Amino acid sequence: MSGEHKKLLLKLARAAISSRFDHRPLEKPQEPVLQEKRGLFVSLHKQGQLRGCIGYIKAFHSIVDSVVEMAQEAAFSDPRFPSLRQEELDDLEIEISVLSEMIPVDSTDEIVIGRDGLFIQHPHGSGLLLPQVPVEWNWDLPEYLKHICLKAGLHQKAWQDPGARLHRFTAEVFSEADFSD
């Protein structure tokens, strides 16, 4: 994805959030690469702190449609945070993570910190951590594996349980900070 495509998506995410306050119609980019179906997450940060993050693990909609929906969900429906207030909009930094396909993990030796996000499916819960999370928290692999389990509401070594399935994925991650002047 080109820098121009990334800028268009970031601008669209901000417009999608803003449209909830000013009720302006959205103009969605029509570029073919942005019509591709991909999993993606939209993360919102305020003063360096997470303010919302919601996404699709799998490809359900086009990148454009998913950015609109997930930006609004991250701003207004992340259960960890109150709905965004209009006066917070200028303080937000928007980040988008466009996901690759999920790859089953046969051995934890395959997992590379900084490259791979993790998704765990378990009979008692599931959870996902984006590739940038262990880097931001300075986690090594054992810590990363522990936190993917905790994110899913499971015990710390649930990834080793017989019914657990661990997947890795990469993500193209970009934020408004990447394009600030």
Q: Are residues 127 and 81 in the same domain?
A: no
The answer to whether 13 and 42 are in contact (CB under 8 A) is: yes
Report pLDDT digits (tens) over 1-24: 899 999 999 999 999 999 999 999
User: Cβ atoms within 10 A of the Cβ of 84, count?
Assistant: 22
Q: Are residues 12 and 70 in the same domain?
A: yes
Q: Are residues 31 and 90 in the same domain?
A: yes
Q: Are residues 95 and 115 in the same domain?
A: no
Give the domain range for residue 121: 103-169
CATH of the domain at 10: 3.30.700.20
**Which of 99, 129, 154 is a domain's end point?**
99
How does residue 181 score in pLDDT terms, banded at 50, 70 and 90? low
Q: Tell me the whole-structure pTM to 2 decimals.
A: 0.89
Q: Are residues 42 and 124 in the same domain?
A: no
Report pLDDT digits (tens) over 28-57: 999 999 999 999 999 999 999 999 999 999
**Counted domains in the chain:** 2
Output the six-digit token pair for 169: 């994925």
d(CA 49, CA 7): 22
Q: Are residues 60 and 89 in the same domain?
A: yes
Q: Which of 8, 5, 64, 16 is nearest to 40 (CA)?
A: 64
Residue 180 lies in a domain: no
